[in-house]
Structure 1
Amino acid sequence: MMEGDSPSITCSDEYRLLQTYCLKRRKSSTKTSACVLNAQSEIFGDVAEKLTRIVDSGLLVDDGIEADSVNTDDIEKLVELLKKSGDELNEKIQKNHELVGYLQRTLSYDFFDKLTTAFITSVVPEYLQSRSKHEQIALTFEVTSRLQALDLHPMNRVMGFGAQYLQKYFAPWVKQHGGWEKAFDDDDEEVH
């Protein structure tokens, strides 16, 4: 069993919520994914919708940086690409054969952790991170969604990494706020 694929991860609320979120973000749903979405929408649909609204509220602003002109390491290149439109992401990464090879060789939970943390830090300023858990969680969902769309590894592997990341960094906060649905009640925290 590969890292990120353990039954405890794939059966977790975080994993199932990631599935729901990714299916909502996908432009064209297959019959199978529609069935999964319908079954999970009763439990996680509202939360996934709120996460989508948070991400779409202007968190990811295109800052005009072209990935090809950035002279940085691979994680910083990916962070910049992830900030851009999800539709353009796969195309740009697939054109960069060096980056594709690097991702195929090195995509592990540790890499996912570093990439997601760098992405969140680049979008949510450090001084706001203690106050904007909703945004950080929504960005984790968005990173997972965009990475799983790259088709570099089996979807469940990236989803497992996303679920592990959520459990590691946000599960205590979610539990403290009464679980996923209650933590994302509109009255619980204002979106910045």
Structure 2
Amino acid sequence: MGYSTEHIAGSLKAARERKGLSQRALGAKTGVPQSHISRIENGAVDLRLSSLVELARVLDLELTLVPRRKLPAVRAITRGDDAGQRDVQGARKAANMLQRLGDRIAELPRETRSEIAVQELQRRTRELMHFKLSADDLVHLQEASAAMQEFLTGSRNLEAVEQAQSRLGLLRNALAHRAGASAPSVPRPAYRLDGDDHG
């Protein structure tokens, strides 16, 4: 089997496994017998164009003829697509975690919110909402969230709040000094109403 056929067979098998389809299920959807799919994936048979088109369609793949000199660019784009999607999901998760942390602070009793450490934590949380967060920022947010959870479930020791505030301060400084980093942008609401702290 030549390299190009081997590469196509490997791509088809990987796409089938990503979709969670067995060879039998793929055969039922495409009309290509399971035994033929097995031989295609193992490189024991030459692909017929009609079979290839049908397999690609079911596996959400697109067959395209690309000029050889442009192939490296196409490969780079398709490799980066999966990583970019993971980054956007991580950024969205970080933004949601930050929002939940802000909500927890807002739900604290008024006398607790008047503590300087809690006010500082609330300020840091609001500041971070203006930054583009990345999946890498999740670690700091998880540590701050864990410290805040300790405060809420424990003896209301302000050291936990100070620890959370310190974590968020480090994150804020890192984000502010991140030079030219292009964190994936997360869709943000057109406007946001901050909680009313007056009652």
TM-score by length of structure 2 reads 0.27
Give the TM-score taking structure 1 as reference length. Answer: 0.28
Q: Which has the higher contact order (CA 8 A, sep 6+)?
A: 1
Larger Rg: 2
